[in-house]
Structure 1
Amino acid sequence: MNGETAWALYENRLRRVSAYIHDHLDEELDMDNLAGIACMSSYHWHRIYRAVHGETLAATVKRLRLHRAAGDIVATDLSVREIARRSGYPNLQSFNRIFKSVYGMPPAQYRKEGSHKAFEPSPYGKTATMFDITLRKIEPIQLLGVPHIGSYMQIGKAFETLFSTLFARGLAKPTMRMIGVYLDDPDIVPAEKLRSVACVTVEGEVAVVAPFETRTLDGGEYAVLRHKGPYADMYKAYHWLYADWLPASGRKLRDSVMFEEYLNNPRDVPPTELLTDIHMPLV
């Protein structure tokens, strides 16, 4: 078996395990069972997974469950106890402890005081806190991406596929920028039908073989809001951009997609330190 064939085999296995993890977060995810899905011994498979993704399988499962839990805390009325149960924690105390260690405060306090609260309207109808907007002119950006259908909170599944495939095909480069393109309005399109694309920037010719697709971001002027904090909070920033900043700015929207550039990696920093530039296209 030559090297190219071997990596193609690993690529399919990485994709299969990643998809299974994202689709079964409500279930018990036994590490040996995941190795079985990869059709390899746990001894070897765990090492391959960590070499490609930079974290253990157990760390991935924990990170994804807490990411979903943060989204549930911010966007739903589910009780913290129910969210803890869905996240696989045997009791509320252990969930509170783990959540606080990652997000900086217990889940009940996060629901009341998390960074998403900064974007909520004051009693006078406007957001109490103002945020700096940078106006940037950019050139068109060439992207290589993996499409995703479903909740924007779950686009991580497509990013997992994107990066594991890039690695397996020897295409990953440290200069690649990580970008999410969002094609629908989540306030009017059902979550299960939302379209998005997990992307990286590319230069030159790249073979476009499934699951990849190419896309070009339009050049031009953008209003850029730098968001610091968990991805679960960002929908509030979008509402602020549309409801507060845009009318006050006197600017008009351009018929082009909004996109996000992720400036650091959720595997490397805690959710409270994540930096995201949200780009709104302007005429």
Structure 2
Amino acid sequence: MPAQPQSQSVDIVERDAVPVAAIEHRGDPARLGDTIRTFIAWRREHRLHPSVSATYNVVYDNPDDVAPEAFRMDLCAATREPIAPNAAGVTARTLAGGRYAVLRHKGSDDTLGQSVAWLYADWLPASGEALRDVPLLFQRVRFYPDVPEHEAITDILLPLK
């Protein structure tokens, strides 16, 4: 049984689609830092600081459930601006709107997987809700290095039918 997150308050919300600039990370999660640094540099160049542009992760795979070379995750920044072809590989995408269950995770990413596991294994079966066929999203509300890791806030967005 997954550990209970600090907050068990799950809200169901209706969200609009969100246009984003996205960079794909494909491969070993240990190399995710390289992709993050590339994306940060691109964001700085385009003045999309997290204070003015919401930050999202599109989570396709649990790194514990796939081979390192098969891991997939996208890093995104909300923007309505056109995305010109660029050396960083950032492209325009749209995050799906619709119904989402939202669980707020506070603290380090080291325990984020426990909150996600609880949402899937405990909350979802008890809720009577069903999953939609779109990826899980993380909205990074407050994150390192802007705040200490223990003060980080990530909203886990579980897509519902």
TM-score (norm: length of structure 1): 0.52
In the TM superposition, 1:1-283 aligns within 5 A as 119-120=2-3, 127=4, 131-152=8-29, 154-168=31-45, 170-173=46-49, 174-210=51-87, 211-283=89-161
Once the two structures are TM-superposed, the CA of residue 213 in structure 1 deviates from its matched residue by: 1.9
Residues 238 and 257 of structure 1, relative CA distance in 2, 3 Å threshold: same
- 1:263 is paired with a residue whose SS is strand
Once the two structures are TM-superposed, the CA of residue 251 in structure 1 deviates from its matched residue by: 0.3
Residues 227 and 197 of structure 1, relative CA distance in 2, 3 Å threshold: same
Once the two structures are TM-superposed, the CA of residue 272 in structure 1 deviates from its matched residue by: 0.9
Once the two structures are TM-superposed, the CA of residue 136 in structure 1 deviates from its matched residue by: 1.1
- 2:150 is paired with a residue whose SS is helix
Once the two structures are TM-superposed, the CA of residue 130 in structure 1 deviates from its matched residue by: 6.3
Query: Any idea what the Cα deviations from partners look like across 1:145-203, whole Å, max 9, x if unmatched?
Result: 221123446534322211212323x4435411111111124343112320111110111
Structure number having the greater helix percentage: 1
Once the two structures are TM-superposed, the CA of residue 129 in structure 1 deviates from its matched residue by: 6.9
Greater RCO, CA 8 A, separation 6+: 2
- Contact 1:208–1:214 (8 Å) recurs in 2: no
Please tell me the residue identity of whatever aligns with 2:13.
R
Q: Say what the alpha-carbon RMSD is for the aligned residues.
A: 2.1
Please tell me the residue identity of whatever aligns with 2:103.
L
1:3 is matched with which residue?
none
Q: Which runs of 5+ in 1 are unaligned?
A: 1-118, 121-126
Residues 153 and 142 of structure 1, relative CA distance in 2, 3 Å threshold: farther
- 2:142 is paired with a residue whose SS is coil
What is the number of residues matched between the two proteins?
A: 158
Residues 238 and 152 of structure 1, relative CA distance in 2, 3 Å threshold: farther
Residues 282 and 152 of structure 1, relative CA distance in 2, 3 Å threshold: farther
Residues 128 and 279 of structure 1, relative CA distance in 2, 3 Å threshold: closer
Please tell me the residue identity of whatever aligns with 1:172.
L
Residues 171 and 137 of structure 1, relative CA distance in 2, 3 Å threshold: same
Structure number having the greater strand percentage: 2
Name which one, 1 or 2, has greater alpha-carbon Rg.
1
Q: Which runs of 5+ in 2 are unaligned?
A: none
